[in-house]
Amino acid sequence: QVQLVQSGAEVKKPGASVKVSCKASGYTFTTYGFSWVRQAPGQGLEWMGWISAYNGDTHYAQNLQARVTLTTDTSTTTASMELRSLRSDDTAIYYCARLVRGVGFDIWGQGTMVTVSS
């Protein structure tokens, strides 16, 4: 079946970087793009960015553009999100989601908890 499986929880110190992966299976990887969404404790859903799995085109949220990089690897059908210069307010659950044009984010990963603490 179609699924996205994310990498495990991370604990990082302020100023460090984190890379979260999202392994896709059950469909043709290059057909759809991926978005990354995060939810900080007690907060709502925040869209971080989108990447095309077909050609690597990206769009980033303006407030994260300088610190985030999205990539895909068609050989391993994996999407990844790297966030640099981590701060305590980056502590959140990070989700990858498949974007189907005209439908929305129809398949989600299980989420990855990233904790930033000294």
Partner 1 sequence: ETVLTQSPGTLSLSPGERVTLSCRASQTVSATYLAWYQLKPGQAPRLLIFGASSRAPGVPDRFSGSGSGTDFTLTISRLEPEDCAVYYCQQHGSPPYTFGQGTKLEIK
- Shortest distance, position 13 Cβ to partner 1, whole Å: 26
Measured from the CB atom, the residue of 16 and 57 that comes closer to partner 1 is 57
Measured from the CB atom, the residue of 15 and 63 that comes closer to partner 1 is 63
**What are the percentages of helix, strand and coil residues in the chain, rounded to 5?**
5, 55, 40
- Shortest distance, position 57 Cβ to partner 1, whole Å: 10
The site for partner 1 (CB under 8 A) is made up of 35, 37, 39, 44-47, 50, 59, 61-62, 95, 97, 99, 101-106, 108-111
Measured from the CB atom, the residue of 103 and 118 that comes closer to partner 1 is 103
